[in-house]
Amino acid sequence: MLAPMRVSPQEGSGGRLWPYVAATVVVAGLAAVWLARDPILSRLSRPYVERARAEWEKERAAAAPEEEVAAPGGAGELPGADVWERVTGAPPAWPGDLLAPPDCADREEIDRALCRAVESVGTRHGVSCGFLVEAAETLAASPPELSRERASAEGLAENATHLFRRLRRRRLEPIRALLDEDPAAAEPLALLAFRRLQAREHCGPRGAETGRAAYAYASFALESLGGQAYLHRRWPRVAALASFYAILIVDEAERQGRNSEGVDLRPHIARTRALLERLPLTFRDRYLETLDRLASRWPGGS
């Protein structure tokens, strides 16, 4: 009969160490994967990102008009004048040169005009002037980074949910409801909000900070998948106006040497112009003239 094989203490202790050795190897492997996650995820997600961007570009280029372009109701009457009077309490008025900032002496009146307009259409949705200012300050405190989206899948995921993560449902839903249920109000509200932004940037004590935040969100709206996806779910007039004012903000940044993301406005000018041409907006011709001015500074944009 064979004697049972004996295991030496050294061999026994080595056997007991194997689970720890294996666990160490596994942890080291997971750590290596985690440290290299950005290149790995970027490579894996690149086909999806390119396909998603191509699909959004195709859908936006072929977007159907919101409605037939209507002629003014009478001689000298602007289309949608009744909407402006409902929202602002005054007839529609173009501010002269939209690319030039307003007089700083008018800053307080611009603030009051925007607040009156917001209160007139936003109350039933729970959107007040204070609510909107709080939301704007929340967004400005933590703007998106377009460069991170371009560099990694993690940045892409963060930008895709940026608005929800910053505003949360309690702020985002009332704003969405206002834009979706009263899209006609978007035109006067957008013009007043843009003039307020200009006044804050050029006349306010935190002008540089305001300009940086505005540029971050303008480039986000134009170039990021998250921004494009959000606009794609809005009415065509809301998406077109948001793109129009985002273009103005990026153009201003370019002229001041602040276009840090290197946004090329040429395709955006052409695409936004095509959208605006088909919409019955009060100042449609003014928007088109403004885009034509910008196209001359961005050769190839028209």
For residues 301 and 247, give the distance between their C-alpha atoms in angstroms, rounded to a whole number.
12
For residues 280 and 144, give the distance between their C-alpha atoms in angstroms, rounded to a whole number.
32
What tokens were used for 226? 């998250």
For residues 135 and 166, give the distance between their C-alpha atoms in angstroms, rounded to a whole number.
9
Q: Which residues neighbour 147 within 8 Å (Cβ) at sequence distance 6 or greater?
A: 155, 261
Q: What is the pTM of this model?
A: 0.74
- pLDDT at position 139, please? 87
**What burial class does residue 253 get, using C-beta atoms within 10 Å of its C-beta: 0-12 exposed, 13-18 middle, 19+ buried?**
buried
- pLDDT at position 73, please? 41
- pLDDT at position 145, please? 81
DSSP secondary structure of 182-221: -GGGHHHHHHHHHHHHHHHHHHSTTHHHHHHHHHHHHHHH
For residues 259 and 252, give the distance between their C-alpha atoms in angstroms, rounded to a whole number.
9
For residues 282 and 80, give the distance between their C-alpha atoms in angstroms, rounded to a whole number.
5
Residue of 200, 207, 126 lying closest to 170 (CA atoms): 126
Residue of 173, 143, 176 lying closest to 158 (CA atoms): 143
Instruction: Decide: 131 and 140 in contact? Cβ < 8 Å.
Output: no
Residuewise pLDDT in 10s, the chain (302 residues): 455 555 454 445 555 666 666 666 665 555 554 455 445 444 544 554 455 455 545 544 444 444 444 434 444 557 788 999 999 999 999 998 999 999 999 999 999 999 999 999 988 888 899 988 899 999 888 888 877 666 667 767 776 777 778 888 888 898 888 888 899 999 999 999 999 999 999 998 888 899 999 999 999 999 988 888 888 888 999 999 999 999 999 999 999 999 999 999 999 999 999 999 999 999 999 999 999 999 998 876 44
62-to-66, 186, 247 alpha-carbon distances in Å: 12, 22, 20
Residue pointed to by tokens 């939209």: 98
